[in-house]
Amino acid sequence: SRLEESVKKTVEENPVVVYSKSWCSYSAEVKSLFKRLGVEPAVIELDELGAQGPQVQKVLERLTGQHTVPNVFIGGKHIGGCTDTVKLHRKGELEPLLAEAKSK
């Protein structure tokens, strides 16, 4: 579908992408983590897309199996949600991924 193509394009063209909801604290946590790491993700606030919001959330579920926010991609690869991203960082694996995505 056209929406699916547009989501795929977004995650391929941006090193870091966060599908988020503007009033969600888990989404805020992951956005602020990237900010602390000096990374500026492309942020898509699903609650600001009107009727497209739920549609994009459905496309993401089809593409990643994940229906929740935040939904994080690095270097075109699906990372997961807030907990997954924080876990990667605690293991020291997040910054290498970010560096590699930036260099692409």
Ligand X SMILES: N[C@@H](CCC(=O)N[C@@H](CS)C(=O)NCC(=O)O)C(=O)O
Residues contributing to the site for ligand X (CB under 6 A): 21, 23-26, 68-70, 81-83
Q: Considering beta carbons, is residue 1 or 22 the nearer one to a second copy?
A: 22
Segment holding 6, helix H or strand E: helix 2-13
26 lies in the binding site for a second copy (CB under 8 A): yes
Alpha carbon distance 2, 98 (integer Å):
28
Q: Considering beta carbons, is residue 60 or 98 the nearer one to a second copy?
A: 60
Q: How far is the CB of 103 from a second copy (least distance, A)?
A: 32
| Residue 30 Cα distances to 67, 79, 97, angstroms | 17, 12, 15
